[in-house]
Structure formats: structure tokens, C-alpha cells
């Protein structure tokens, strides 16, 4: 279909993770982890020593890699690079914010949820409904 973003299908597309150690470990145990021939992984474990620059660079890398279809990012990590997460507007790679063990989920900070609310409010105004 014309105009739609295509996910590469030569191999299956990957899910990437940017989160704390416990969250990443859980997903790795579920089989999400991948290391390619160049030793590049599809996950970043964020701890107290991880710099915001490292998180930004990893986010930019994952959003430009053709083998990654979804990025799962802990919401507290997304808050560290909120300007990047909020400005990202491509359909593929999809960005999903998830809670972590030590940081509860706050729907007010979720970029996807805020976009959905905006779209529904724009549609209701455009159609004359309130």
C-alpha cells in the first residue's frame, strides 16, 4: 500500500529495550535480546552510571536501525530524553513507554497517550462533537 511505512521482512524485525537492569533482564529471558555480527545489541541497561548522552545516542541509533520495529523504553528513562521522544514522529520504529519496578507509570507523561488524546480531541472538534 502506497504511503505506508514498511517493516523489513528479510529477517524478523527486533524489539529494542532501553530500561533498568531488572526490566531488560526480564525481556532478555523472554527471548527479546539480540547481538549481531558487529556485536551491536538491541538493548541498553540504564543505571546510575549511564549518561544522558549515552541514552540519547542509543535512542537515535535504535530509531535509525532498519532491523528494529519497536523500542520499549522505561518511562523514567524516556523522561530523561523527553525532548527526543516527543519529537519522534515516524510510525516505524514505534516507541512504547513502559513502567519499571522502581518507577510507577504516569499516563500524563506518556507521549503515545498524549498523541492519541490530541487526535481524538482534534477529530471531535473537526466533526462538531464535544
Q: What value does the mean pLDDT of the chain take?
A: 84
- Identify the band that residue 26 occupies on the pLDDT scale cut at 50, 70 and 90: very high
- pTM of the entire structure? 0.77
Give the model confidence (pLDDT) of 92-123 as tens digits: 889 999 998 888 888 777 777 776 777 777 65
- Identify the band that residue 72 occupies on the pLDDT scale cut at 50, 70 and 90: very high
Q: Cβ contacts of residue 21 below 8 Å, gap of 6+?
A: 45, 47
123 three-class SS:
helix
Domains detected in the chain? 14-125 (3.40.50.10580)
Is residue 18 within 8 A of residue 59, CB to CB? The reply is yes
Amino acid at each position: 500500500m502506497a504511503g505506508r511505512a514498511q517493516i523489513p521482512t528479510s529477517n524478523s524485525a527486533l524489539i529494542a529495550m532501553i530500561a533498568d537492569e531488572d526490566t531488560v533482564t526480564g525481556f532478555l529471558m523472554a527471548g527479546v535480546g539480540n547481538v549481531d555480527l558487529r556485536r551491536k545489541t538491541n538493548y541498553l541497561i540504564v543505571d546510575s552510571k549511564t549518561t544522558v548522552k549515552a541514552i540519547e545516542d542509543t535512542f537515535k541509533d535504535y530509531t535509525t536501525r532498519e532491523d528494529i520495529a519497536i523500542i520499549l523504553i522505561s518511562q523514567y528513562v524516556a523522561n530523561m530524553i523527553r525532548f527526543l521522544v516527543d519529537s519522534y514522529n515516524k510510525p516505524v520504529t514505534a516507541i512504547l513507554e513502559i513502567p519499571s519496578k522502581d518507577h510507577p507509570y504516569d499516563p500524563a507523561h506518556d507521549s503515545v497517550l498524549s498523541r492519541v488524546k490530541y487526535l481524538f480531541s482534534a477529530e471531535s472538534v473537526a466533526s462538531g462533537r464535544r
